[in-house]
């Protein structure tokens, strides 16, 4: 069976967790292929809200195996916190049973967090992600497979500690890395996770050969890709489709579907240009922030909000080749008198239909808008009832208010990508699927 990829189509925080959770019900493997605990995926199951940072969102499906892939940088302490919360909720210990860590993945150490804390420009999460990836590129980082060999090499330990402390000095961080602490941390990692560390690429390859369904789960979003995003205000990994199979340890020929997740508006966390940004304090920008609860899952920082940007979505599609779009948070726009769609930019007096590569130029871009009528605000219960009516009677999107349906169809027309699912609330039941599409299934009933 082919693999499916789920990616953020904007600047991250698009609601990937819910889409992955839905697809995982029919998947035997869910694989995170890049990033670390700078990701935040939220899943709402009735009264239970799960906030995941490293564990794949497929964890809620008991028959779905979970992999932290080759392309990840993993914080073992944060992972333990997540696993402990999962155990408190379900009494399951999945590590080594259905959750496996790639031996090729890099270890995030306290040093990386200390170094990252000095950032004052990009607006990172401070979780040590960038410094861990930098060590990988410089070929001085420690992968999970390297830990026992590293501990046996006294010279290597001393050399690493010296390098780390010099780097901390260079960014004005006074804390020191001590030999006893580093050795103790690495030994603990081996003891805690030794039973889960595997050649995960071979496991995924074998599963695909045996006809199993594999879900490749991305973190962050297309506009935060280190190569294709709004550099330098990006993350430290390749977030795009091209890295989905590479970061999982399999070849790209396995992928058949690539689903891009996009809000019905746009948000961004951290610094960097954002052409459709609206004032946070008032008006539609404040409405989106408050009604959409736009605060980062990982950092708690308020997200910047703005109108739907079809120019950035077009660039995102060019890089990733989406076979379908999952449009999330349509319900949040309910109650606004007028909706805007950005169809182009004005740059230095000229209209352009692409994102400039230079952030300096992108910061000068002014959005060119198309105006659409708004639709009424509905309660969470009303949206869920609408979604359940769509499923029970096979109506697809026809259950939507007329103005909302027109807005959705225009996004589909401008992007050239079929919209396969529409999120109308955080609950697993609050999704309306296209008739006969990949999301046109009954939601799983999960109780804890």
Catalytic positions, written as ranges: 13, 41
| Sign, CA torsion 367/314/264/42 | negative
Outline where DSSP puts E strands in 223-337: 255-263, 266-268, 304-306, 308-309, 324-328
Cα angle value 309/286/220 (rounded, 5°): 50
The residues, any chain, with a CB within 8 Å of residue 313's CB and separated by 6 or more, are 9, 10, 260, 262, 415
Q: What share of the chain is helix, strand, coil (3-state, %, to 5)?
A: 40, 20, 40
| C-alpha of 36 from chain center | 10
3-state class (DSSP) for residue 430: coil
Render 335-354 in DSSP notation, one character per residue. T-SEEEEEEEEEETTEEESS
In 10 A of CB 254, how many CB atoms? 20
Alpha-carbon distances, residue 295 vs 78, 283, 448 (angstroms): 20, 18, 26
Residue of 448, 393, 395 whose CA lies nearest to 422: 395
3-state class (DSSP) for residue 294: coil
Which pair of structure tokens corresponds to residue 388?
């359940």
Spatial contact of 83 and 54, defined as CB atoms under 8 Å apart: no
In 10 A of CB 202, how many CB atoms? 11
To which residue do tokens 């071979």 refer?
202
Residue of 126, 134, 133, 145 whose CA lies nearest to 186: 145
How far apart, in Å, do the first and last CA atoms of the chain sit? 31
Spatial contact of 214 and 24, defined as CB atoms under 8 Å apart: no
Q: Up-side HSE of residue 200: CA atoms within 13 Å toward CB?
A: 34
Spatial contact of 239 and 230, defined as CB atoms under 8 Å apart: no
CA atoms of 70 and 67, how far apart (whole Å):
9
């Amino acid at each position: 069976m082919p693999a499916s990829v789920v990616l953020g189509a904007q600047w991250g925080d698009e609601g990937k967790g819910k889409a992955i959770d839905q697809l995982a019900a029919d998947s035997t493997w869910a694989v995170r292929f890049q990033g670390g605990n700078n990701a935040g995926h939220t899943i709402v199951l009735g009264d239970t809200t799960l906030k995941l940072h490293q564990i794949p969102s497929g964890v809620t499906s008991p028959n779905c195996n979970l992999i932290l892939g080759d392309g990840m940088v993993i914080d073992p302490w944060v992972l333990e916190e997540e696993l402990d919360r999962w155990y408190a909720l379900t009494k399951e210990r999945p590590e080594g049973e259905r959750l496996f860590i790639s031996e090729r993945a890099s270890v995030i150490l306290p040093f990386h967090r200390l170094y990252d804390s000095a950032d004052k420009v990009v607006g990172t999460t401070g979780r040590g992600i960038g410094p861990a990836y930098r060590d990988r590129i410089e070929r001085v980082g420690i992968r999970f497979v390297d830990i026992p060999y590293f501990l046996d090499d006294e010279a290597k330990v001393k050399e690493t500690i010296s390098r780390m402390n010099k780097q901390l000095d260079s960014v004005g961080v006074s804390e020191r890395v001590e030999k006893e602490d580093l050795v103790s941390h690495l030994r603990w990692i081996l003891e805690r996770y030794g039973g889960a560390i595997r050649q995960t690429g071979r496991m995924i390859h074998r599963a695909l050969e045996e006809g199993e369904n594999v879900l490749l789960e991305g973190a962050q979003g297309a506009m935060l890709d280190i190569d294709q995003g709004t550099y330098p205000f990006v993350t430290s990994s390749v977030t795009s489709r091209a890295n989905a199979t590479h970061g999982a340890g399999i070849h790209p020929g396995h992928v058949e579907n690539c689903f891009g997740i996009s809000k019905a508006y746009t948000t961004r966390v951290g610094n960097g240009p954002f052409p459709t940004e609206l004032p946070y304090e008032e008006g539609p920008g404040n409405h989106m922030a408050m009604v959409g609860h736009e605060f980062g899952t990982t950092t708690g920082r308020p997200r910047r909000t703005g109108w739907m940007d079809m120019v950035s979505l077009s660039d995102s599609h060019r890089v990733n080749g989406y076979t379908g779009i999952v449009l999330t948070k349509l319900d949040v726009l309910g109650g606004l008198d007028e909706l805007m769609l950005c169809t182009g930019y004005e740059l230095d007096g000229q209209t352009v239909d692409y994102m400039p590569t230079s952030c300096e130029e992108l910061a000068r871009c002014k959005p060119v808008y198309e105006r659409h009528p708004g639709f009424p605000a509905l309660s969470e219960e009303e949206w869920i009832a609408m979604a359940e009516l769509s499923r029970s009677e096979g109506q697809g999107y026809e259950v939507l208010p007329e103005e909302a349906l027109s807005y959705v169809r225009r996004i589909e027309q401008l992007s050239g990508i079929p919209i396969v699912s529409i999120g109308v609330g955080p609950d697993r039941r609050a999704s309306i699927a296209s008739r006969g599409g990949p999301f046109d299934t009954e939601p799983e009933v999960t109780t804890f």
